[in-house]
Amino acid sequence: MSRSAHPAGPRYADVLPEGHYTAPPADLNSLDSRVWSQTVERTQDGAVAVGGLDVRKIAEEFGTPAYVMDETDFRARCRAWRDAFGQDADVFYAGKAFLSRAVVRWLYEEGLNLDVCSGGELATALAAGMPAERIALHGNNKSNEEIHRAVEAGVGRIVLDSFQEIARVAHAAERLGRRQPVQIRVTVGVEAHTHEFIATAHEDQKFGLALAEGQAAEAVRRVLRLDSLELIGIHSHIGSQIFDMAGFEVSARRVVGLLTQIRDEHGIELPEIDLGGGLGIAYTPEDDPREPHEIAKSLGDIVTRECEVAGLAVPRLSVEPGRAIVGPTAFTLYEVGTLKELEGLRTYVSVDGGMSDNIRTALYDAEYSVALVSRASAAEPMLSRVVGKHCESGDIVVRDAFLPADLAPGDLLAVPATGAYCRSMASNYNHALRPPVIAVRDGEARTILRRETEEDLLRLDVG
């Protein structure tokens, strides 16, 4: 889609930032299926429904702001990943994207495994009944207590991230009389084309053991010497919100290279490799994500090819998508409050949430879409900036978007693709109450994570 000329008047033309907005869509009422979950539709009276439920009814019953999650869509995405990777691979949902007990049960029922990266996520997974052998524990600085709990619970794998951790996990396993399956996380030196803060496989960062420096090979030696650890594979995660498969190909090639080196040095072939998560989703219609079956084919082909060249048996593959599963399944429902029009520039549309429920715009300069969902409108497009209610001018939810010019206080807006890293990164800034997550399915809505209350805040404040 082409970038528009400045829609602004001459007064502000020289200060309007370039490049964040495109021409207004032909129809502001249309809902692009690339950014909305599968059961979202505009109904005959112009309002939007999800899972057969009118958003006005959801707002009335549960209040705003609220994350509204399309359970049907979530389950369909789990199945798409499961089916794409098939019986010879494992899909670990990355719980950091969003985790609640209901979600853990959906994952379990749809045949997915779960990656957790903290004691809190582990506790949620176990409380919801996820079998421990289907859980992987990650983290660059796991506490001894987290390690102990994970080993004691019998998690299927702990992903070792540092030399110190090798000894600590081995110690916990010895004390508990276990032989703990582990993978070693390596940094493969790939520059993923994404925001610096969400790129993780270049070498100058905190995660993993560097391949190029020989740290990874040294970690393998040390793990193999310890009876209480069972080295089952090598792990690599190159970053997040990635569209280009080239980085995964390089990563797969280098990981297989290490497996070959291990075979040559130690005479063993490790049975597993994990290529992490990081697959991008559409936040705006301009984003063009890969489908799970394309991803599975591309990763499967490269691993098979590289193993054939090296004369290795093809290891069992696993992946850890978080955002690609949960991201597109939810939207955030807000109510419009104040409107501030800067003539010839844009209109600031304030909603009843903001950076406390979606920090991604402020933190990563993330782009989002937005739509008026409580009614249809035939008004002209108005260049808008959707902002929150926090005491901070960087409190922006959607930097540039076109909304109908007749927008008024009380209207409901929805920002799609907020299922990943919005509730899980939400804060209480300004003592905001973190919004609930409402799951909708077949005409019924239920709270899976309730809204915080002022009592919750005061309970922590022990005087």
Half-sphere exposure of 344 toward its Cβ, with a 13 Å CA cutoff?
7
> Residue 242 gets which letter from DSSP?
B
Q: Are 186 and 255 in contact (CB under 8 A)?
A: yes
391 is catalytic: yes
Rounded-to-integer distance, Cα 41 and Cα 373, Å: 10
User: Which of the following is catalytic: 78, 117, 391, 422?
Assistant: 391
Three-state SS at 260: helix
The answer to whether 421 contacts ligand LLP (rule: CB under 6 A) is yes
Pairing between β-strand 180-187 and β-strand 229-235 as defined by DSSP bridges: parallel
Stretch that binds ligand LLP, among 37-45, 76-84, 216-224, 418-426 (CB under 6 A): 418-426
Q: Quick one: tokens of 356?
A: 């406390």
Does the protein bind ligand LLP through residue 329 (CB under 6 A)? no
How far apart CA 299 and CA 312 sit, in angstroms, is: 16
Q: Which two tokens stand for residue 362?
A: 């402020």
The three-state secondary structure class of 292 is helix
- Polymer length in residues for the chain: 463
Residue of 181, 247, 278, 289 that binds ligand LLP (CB under 6 A) = 278
Q: How far apart are CA 438 and CA 69, in angstroms?
A: 6
415 binds ligand LLP (CB under 6 A): no
Closest residue by Cα to residue 242 from 357, 344, 323, 312: 323
Whose structure tokens read 């993923």? 192
C-beta closer to ligand LLP: residue 55 or 84 = 84
119, 233, 277, 328: which one binds ligand LLP (CB under 6 A): 277
CB of 384 to ligand LLP, least distance (A): 23
Q: Which residues pair with 336 in a beta bridge?
A: 351
Binding segment (CB under 6 A) for ligand LLP, from list 48-56, 322-330, 368-376, 436-444: 322-330
Going from the C-alpha of 203 to that of each of 188, 231, 396, the distances in angstroms are: 7, 23, 32
For residue 8 the two structure tokens come to 């602004």
Task: Say how far apart CA 398 and CA 358 lie, in whole Å.
Answer: 10
- Considering the complex, state which of residue 332 and residue 384 has its C-beta at the smaller distance from ligand LLP: 332
Binding mask 371-410 for ligand LLP (x = CB under 6 A): ----------------------------------------
CA 169 from chain center: how many Å? 27
Q: Which is nearer to ligand LLP, 148 or 237 (CB)?
A: 237
Residues from 21 through 80 that contact ligand LLP (CB under 6 A)? none
**Which stretch, 36-44, 271-279, 390-398, 447-455, contacts ligand LLP (CB under 6 A)?**
271-279
Contact letters (x/-) for ligand LLP, 89-128, by CB under 6 A?
A: -----x-xx-----------------x-------------
- Residue 234's H or E segment, with its range, is strand 229-235
User: Coil, strand or helix: which one is 137?
Assistant: strand
Which of 142, 323, 434, 441 binds ligand LLP (CB under 6 A)? It is 323
Which residue lies nearer to ligand LLP by CB, 166 or 324?
324
In the bound complex, what is the minimum distance in angstroms from residue 104's beta carbon to ligand LLP? 16
Q: Which stretch binds ligand LLP (CB under 6 A): 149-157, 233-241, 252-260, 430-438?
A: 233-241
237 binds ligand LLP (CB under 6 A): yes
Number of residues that bind ligand LLP (CB under 6 A): 23
Give which of 420, 428, 270 is closest to 360, Cα–Cα. 420
- 33-41, 307-315, 391-399, 417-425 -> range binding ligand LLP (CB under 6 A): 417-425
- The residue type found at 342 is L
- 125 and 114 in contact (C-beta within 8 Å)? yes
The position carrying tokens 């399944």 is 329
Q: CB 265 → ligand LLP: shortest distance, Å?
A: 26
Distance CA 316, CA 82 (A): 14
Which one of 47-55, 142-150, 275-283, 338-346 is the stretch in contact with ligand LLP (CB under 6 A)? 275-283
360 near ligand LLP, judged by CB under 6 A: yes
Which CB atom, from 242 or from 387, has the smaller least distance to ligand LLP? 242
Indicate which single residue of 34, 77, 134, 138 sits in contact with ligand LLP (rule: CB under 6 A): 138
> Which pair of structure tokens corresponds to residue 79?
């199945």
| 146, 161, 320, 357: residue in contact with ligand LLP (rule CB under 6 A) | 320
The site for ligand LLP (CB under 6 A) is made up of: 94, 96-97, 115, 138, 198, 237, 240-241, 276-279, 320-324, 360, 364, 420-421, 425
The residues that are catalytic are 391
